[in-house]
Amino acid sequence: MDAPVRIDSRLPDVGVSIFAVMTRLANEHGAINLSQGFPDFHCDPALVASVHRYMEAGDNQYAPMPGVLGLREALAEKIAHLYQADYDPVTEITVTAGATEALFDIISAFVRPGDEVVLFEPCYDAYVPVVRLNGGTPRFVTLRAPGYRIDWSEVRRALSPRTRLLIVNSPHNPTGAVLDAADVAELAALLDGTNVVVLSDEVYEHIIFDGRRHESLARHAGLRQRTCVVSSFGKTYHTTGWKIGYVAAPQALTAEIQRVHQFVTFATNTPIQMAYTDVTRARTSYDDLAAFYEAKRDRFLELLAGSKFAPVPCHGTYFQILDYSAVSDEADAAFARRLLLEHGVASIPTSAFLYTSEAPRVLRFCFAKKDETLERAAERLRAV
């Protein structure tokens, strides 16, 4: 018998995503799933009907590689309206198979062996593996609880002549922190005169609370020329399973991104792009979405009143960090597992987003759920 094929893994220390693990455990044990970030309520039926209408009309073949032109035009109009930034829909916007593909395309386009990439931890778990796949070296700046603010003096120390890419995420998953205008000014000043490309992950751009303004890097003329802005439709329209994202970037950067994109997915779902075109053109304000999720956040916190869990300020996303230090001294992953098995509530430990720092005693909970789901989960959490 032939010997087994020898595999030299390129990601030997990467296992199954924590999101998949916690969702599987929640399903196996009948727990309330506040771990993975997706709604348990339906999207707008009119949006589903629109997709069906385009399917029935025959829009079922390949879309153009950069995306349906009408959608790219609608996105350019939206970005100009919201952020006063002009992007050419033909040469500066790319539609991708979700924001995750956009992240892969950008990192793969610009990071080469020996390059350094500055990241802010805790950080979304897709960033670091792709940096490593492309031979890059992560350089971490830690965001510390409870404020999770960026220490710009640490960023300055992390930058070097080998820095090729810097990744920012606002509103921030998993912490709910957001950049303000002062942060953007600090970033612009630090990168002025460098050759650093910025990846700005803004998938929660419309889910921002407490009267704050989303500081898209597209707003800043100085940063815009070096920045690839990534967003997604899934978070905005409660359709995470449809996996359509996009990148807005200057023409020279977009050309490199599309060199990769064409060999990853080439094109994304045509009738869904057509349906998103219509809703993007029709929507001039996203205040209702922000208010919807702010009410969800406030309801969840109200329901948790009297529990031993202490909330960390959340100004965006649909995730709430809760400090459990009054409950247990266990490490976050162990406590999250016990919370699921013994109390029937699934969460995400922030150690899954950390690489160089010890995890504080906090867990991430998704509040993009029906009120009755939040009520049942909070009842169980109050009993811990």
Please name the residues in contact with 146: beta carbons below 8 A apart, sequence gap of 6 or more.
312, 313, 323
CA distance 120 to 171: 13
Main-chain phi, psi angles of 247, to 5 degrees: -125, 130
Helices (H), the chain: 18-29, 45-56, 69-83, 98-110, 127-133, 152-158, 181-191, 221-224, 234-237, 251-261, 270-282, 287-304, 332-343, 371-382
Q: At what angle do helices 270-282 and 45-56 cross, to 10 degrees?
A: 130
Give Cα 167 distance to the centre of its chain: 12
| Residue 314 CB neighbours (<10 A) | 28
CA distance 59 to 236: 23
- Please state, in angstroms and as integers, the Cα–Cα distance from residue 312 to each residue in 33, 158, 209, following that order: 20, 27, 14
Q: Angle 66-218-270 (CA atoms, 0-180°, nearest 5)?
A: 25
Main-chain phi, psi angles of 182, to 5 degrees: -65, -40
Residue ranges, the chain, pLDDT below 70: 1
Q: Report the SS3 class of residue 171.
A: coil
Architecture of domain 18-43+286-382: Alpha-Beta Complex (3.90)
Task: Transcribe 1-49 into DSSP letters.
Answer: -PPPPP---SSTT--S-HHHHHHHHHHHHT-EE-SSS--SS---HHHHH
CA distance 293 to 297: 6
Task: Transcribe 208-253 into DSSP letters.
Answer: B-TT-----GGG-HHHHTTEEEEEESHHHHT-GGG--EEEE--HHH
* Burial tier of 336 (Cβ tally within 10 Å: 0-12, 13-18, 19+): buried
Domain segments of the chain as ranges = 18-43+286-382, 62-282
Q: Which fold has domain 62-282?
A: Aspartate Aminotransferase; domain 2 (3.40.640)
CA distance 106 to 109: 5
CB of 25 within 8 A of CB of 220? no
Q: What pLDDT shows up at residue 1?
A: 64
Query: Encoding tokens for residue 159?
Result: 């930058």
Eight-state DSSP code of residue 366: E
| Residue 265 CB neighbours (<10 A) | 17
User: Which residues are paired to 142 by β-bridges?
Assistant: 121
CB of 112 within 8 A of CB of 251? no
User: Which residues are paired to 362 by β-bridges?
Assistant: 323
* Burial tier of 64 (Cβ tally within 10 Å: 0-12, 13-18, 19+): middle
Place of tokens 């590689």: 65
Q: What pLDDT shows up at residue 3?
A: 79
Q: What pLDDT shows up at residue 16?
A: 84
- pTM of the model as a whole: 0.97
Closest C-alpha to 368, from 293, 287, 289: 293
